[in-house]
Amino acid sequence: MKPSLQVYLDYQATTPVDPRVLEAMLPWFSQSFGNAASRNHAFGWEAEKGVEEARKSMGAAIGGSGREIVFTSGATESNNIAILGVAKMYVPKGKHLITCSTEHKAVLDPMHALEQDGWEVTVLGVNEKGHIDLEELRAAIREDTVLVSIMHGNNEIGTLHPIGAIGAICREKGTLFHTDATQTLGKEAIDVQAMNIDLLSASAHKIYGPKGVGMLYVRRRNPRVRIAAIMHGGGHERGMRSGTLNVPGVIGFAKALELCLANREADQQRLAALRDRLQQRLSAGLTHVHINGDPDNRLACSLNISFEFVEGESMLMGMHGIAVSSGSACTSASLEPSYVLRALGIGDELAHSSIRFSLGRFTTAEEVDHAADLTIATVLKLRAMSPLYEMAMEGIDLSTVKWGGH
Amino acid sequence: MVYSDKVIDHYENPRNVGSLDKDAMDVGTGIVGAPECGDVMKLQIQVEGGVIKDAKFKTFGCGSAIASSSLATEWLKGRTIAEATAIRNVDIVEELALPPVKIHCSVLAEDAIKQALADYQNKQKGASAPSED
Ligand SMILES: Cc1ncc(COP(=O)(O)O)c(C=O)c1O
């Protein structure tokens, strides 16, 4: 294969570490390498000081305090601690949890694990744009509901949930509210006080920080949220998460968030403009395209789009050098397309035909144009060999055809 | 997903893309799969004197599905009906070095061949004996 221009448009999967973040981290590997839990020498004090400063700035960045930040290995762990830890601690109140169908597996799977242990989980459905019905949420909250977990921004379709309104409902009904803000920290405005957020998960590698570091915000006042440890050991992070802290990672995470927030609104506007440019080019160059999610209320970086009559994986194969992801599951053993797209009720065929483009800090207009051109060329080529396109052009309504299936 | 060179070659240079007149007496058509499953293959043969003179395909599906059907048309051309019946999905798996998760693509191609052959044979039967329905 001839080498072609490499364009990374998968920033929702992960991001490169910003050079400024790397620079901030470097001294903490070999120079200031102490264990932040070493209380009796200068190496430990230095590491602890660095971690505490990071904690403080990150707490303040979301309207909380440093003492409310627990460092973890990533958002998967944060979600697990939040859900399993709250569940274990609040058993006397009840055994009911609420979430929604488009959450990340790192929320859904701990909930399913609790179901095996006799918990009841209400999974709210979403509409075509990926939104839950707030009245349905309100009605679902019961006396014995201990936690509502609804994500802020969806990782596949970018839909932004109104977490302020959700937080208000949870507060009014007296249940705890956790939000997975992995896709929104540093991008969307977050204020745990104004939004009544009790627990919040995030991860460094989605915001130009290193992989393997995450955080969990745990509210300390009004109400004081208590969490049973999942990881037992040395009692680090006020007993909520034992294990020696990843000091360079924590420093990098704080630096990454600081950089995101320094220019947040302008950055997001730039990304939205680039994303809209990509969307417009694709829509102008091709017929039969569908935007998945909520076009009016989504992450600035995110474009999830289905190209009717062509299958996602075959598109990826033609888009040489363009790194994107697809909701088609032809790559997995299951043959099932993305459960997030299925939850929208758009039909499995469109789910198989979807591509997620996600833009970021280092994306340029040239890259967007190149990606759009290559995508259009690939879709046209594949449509020319698609029996579905041929049938649709003959005027056959594909939904009325009796298919054999597998 | 890492593809074999042969899959990439068939994807980049698909053989025999197109359509034959599905109503013609000497044409057999097979359409298998379903859009919800992410694969639909249309495979057509044109037969003259018991020998497949032409074969065409159109496929909605992943690169391996496209390659499987492209390869199938290549193999079908010049074969007799009896020889075509002998094509097995494992032959396609072997030729294209398909990984286990892609075996269903070869199964679909074999099904498409069988359906196209059956369609052709039904048309021939229908021509010699008036249809009963
Ligand atoms: C919404 C959401 N939650 C959780 C995760 C998991 O994060 P991590 O990779 O830090 O465990 C991700 C990233 O894949 C995500 O997008």
Q: Which of A203, A205, A356 maximizes ligand 1 atoms within 8 Å of its Cβ, making it the mutation to test the pocket? A: A203
- pLDDT over 90 (residue A405): no
Mean pLDDT value across residues A135-142: 98
- pLDDT over 90 (residue A5): no
Chain position carrying tokens 């859904």: A108
What percent of chain A is modeled with pLDDT above 90? 91
**pLDDT at residue B127, rounded to an integer:** 74
What percent of chain A is modeled with pLDDT above 70? 97
Does residue B24 sit at the A interface (CB-CB below 8 Å)? Answer: no
- pLDDT over 80 (residue A335): no
Cβ-in-10-Å burial (0-12, 13-18, 19+) of A212 comes to middle
Mean pLDDT value across residues A346-372: 95
Given B27, B105, B112, B116, the catalytic residue = B105
pLDDT tens-digit series, residues A321-334? 999 998 875 544 55
**pLDDT at residue A2, rounded to an integer:** 46
Q: Which residues pair with A356 in a beta bridge?
A: A304, A325
Q: Smallest Cα–Cα separation from B95: which of B67, B53, B129?
A: B67
Distance of alpha carbon B82 from alpha carbon A153, whole angstroms:
58
Task: Read off the amino acid at residue A352.
Answer: H
For residue B127, the distance in angstroms to the closest alpha carbon of chain A comes to 26
- pLDDT over 70 (residue A273): yes
Q: Provide the 3-class DSSP secondary structure of residue A195.
A: coil
Residue A80 tokens, joined: 């697990």
Active site (annotated) includes residue A100 = no
Q: Which residues have any ligand 1 atom within 6 Å of their CB?
A: A 74-76, 104, 106, 151, 155, 180, 182-183, 203, 214
Distance of alpha carbon A300 from alpha carbon A219, whole angstroms:
28
**pLDDT at residue A399, rounded to an integer:** 86
The model's pTM: 0.94
pLDDT tens-digit series, residues A219-260? 999 999 999 999 999 999 999 999 999 999 999 999 999 999
Least confident piece of the model among A30-34, A93-97, B73-77, B121-125: B121-125
Q: How many CB atoms lie within 10 A of CB A263?
A: 12
Task: Read off the amino acid at residue B7.
Answer: V
ipTM here: 0.93
Q: How confident is the model at residue A403 (pLDDT cuts 50, 70, 90)?
A: confident
Q: Which of the two residues, B119 and B125, has the higher pLDDT score?
A: B119
* Among the partner residues B1, B11, B34, nearest to A404 by beta-carbon distance: B34
Active site (annotated) includes residue B62 = no
Q: How many CB atoms lie within 10 A of CB B5?
A: 10
